[in-house]
Amino acid sequence: MIFSRKKSVDVLEETSIINKETEGLSQGQIVRRRFFRHKGAMISIVFLTAIIVFVYSSLKMKIFGITYPGWWKYTIEDLPPLELGVCKDGLVGCPTLSLRPEFLGGNGISLGEHPFGQDDIGRDYFALVMRGAQRSLMVTFVIGFIGGTIGTVVGAISGFYRGIVDSVLMRFTDFIITIPTIIIGSVIGFHFGNLGVGFLAFYLGLFAWTGLSRLVRGEFLTLREREFVDAARVAGATNRRIIFKHILPNAVGIIIVSVTLLMSGAILLETALSYLGFGVVSPDVSLGSLISQYQESFTTRPWLFWYPGLFIISIALSINFIGDGLRDAFDPRQRRRITKKDRERAVRLKREAAQK
């Protein structure tokens, strides 16, 4: 009984501290404050941003007719001679990247001529990995945007109007869900993979919205029965205004979180398709196609797998951690751990309020 009473007092104290911290703040400010306090999400944002800047600034690119020079000297079309004498056991094309300082017995920190090594015909593997990461990131964001848009629209219409509209849309969604994703992706990749990575990502995004649409539908079914929706109807608001001005802002949390999970799954889907030969096709490359192309060299030259795999894992984990932080920020039921600094701040706010 004493323990239960002490626990209740602690819960009331924590609730009081949280209320003091969020007093006078809007919902958006509260969400931002919660998100910025999620260390994993903030580290992942910085890390993912660094990867994007590093990858897209490395190679020469042409966007809207304007050529942007990259800081790396090789491209995927260059064929420098294979480096000899830098590998053991008679192998060629070994990485020249050195991360061990000289005072620890290494060769110092340097990139060398080919930091990630060379492939079978001498192409610089660093340039290949950078181009592959560019293509995989493009697929990730395009699928996230298209799948998120379609899933939100379908789920919102289905959950708001219900009835025959809901039945038709959800049966169509169920039909797509019953087809394995890898089969849909393989068919799309076989027919449209040769059109470029942009078309491949676009067509994959047309079938990546099903899970999100069901989540949005469930959220709309709940929110449409709330009092603020009834008040908007009494005030004469149209269905369009109720959807976009009243319900959708309250469902944005689950939408954002689901889209981040969709994006992390998109890069894994593209990797799997490219590994099976149904994704990005030659002469273009992606991280999955690099792993597939050099799978027979795993036992002799494992670095041809290390670097594409490292980028795949890093991008997917970063997006997942960002989604985890967004989930905690938007979920009002999440209880944050109260630190000593929070308690001191709450006591200071109480004293200031008492003095006034």
Query: Mean pLDDT per 10-residue run, the chain (356 residues)?
Result: 45 51 66 85 93 90 75 84 68 77 66 82 88 89 92 92 91 88 79 76 87 91 88 87 86 86 85 78 81 77 86 90 84 56 64 67
Tokens representing residue 172 in the block: 């169509």
What pLDDT, on the 0 to 100 scale, is given for residue 285?
85
Tokens representing residue 220 in the block: 């709309």
If 0-12 CB within 10 Å is exposed, 13-18 middle and 19+ buried, where does residue 20 land? middle
Task: Label each residue of the chain as H, E or C.
Answer: CHHHHHHHHHHHHHHHHHHHHHCCCCHHHHHHHHHHCCHHHHHHHHHHHHHHHHHHHHCCEEECCEEECCCCCCCCCCCCCCCCCCCCCCCCCCCCCECCCHHHCCCCCECCCCCCCECCCCCEHHHHHHHHHHHHHHHHHHHHHHHHHHHHHHHHHHHHHCHHHHHHHHHHHHHHHHCCHHHHHHHHHHHHHHHCHHHHHHHHHCCCCHHHHHHHHHHHHHHCCCHHHHHHHHCCCCHHHHHHHHHHHHHHHHHHHHHHHHHHHHHHHHHHHHHHCCCCCCCCCCHHHHHHHCHHHCCCCCHHHHHHHHHHHHHHHHHHHHHHHHHHHHCCCCCCCCCHHHHHHHHHHHHHHHHC
The domain made up of 135-355 has a fold known as MetI-like fold (1.10.3720)
CA distance 155 to 134: 31
118 φ/ψ sector (left φ>0, alpha ψ -120 to 50, else beta) = beta
CA-to-CA separations, 242 to 156, 207, 223, 265, in angstroms, rounded: 11, 28, 11, 32
Are 330 and 219 in contact by the 8 Å Cβ rule? The answer is no
Q: Which positions ≥6 away from 62 have C-beta within 8 Å?
A: 68
Are 296 and 290 in contact by the 8 Å Cβ rule? The answer is no
Return the amino acid letter for 115: P
Return the amino acid letter for 222: T
pTM value surpassing 0.85:
no
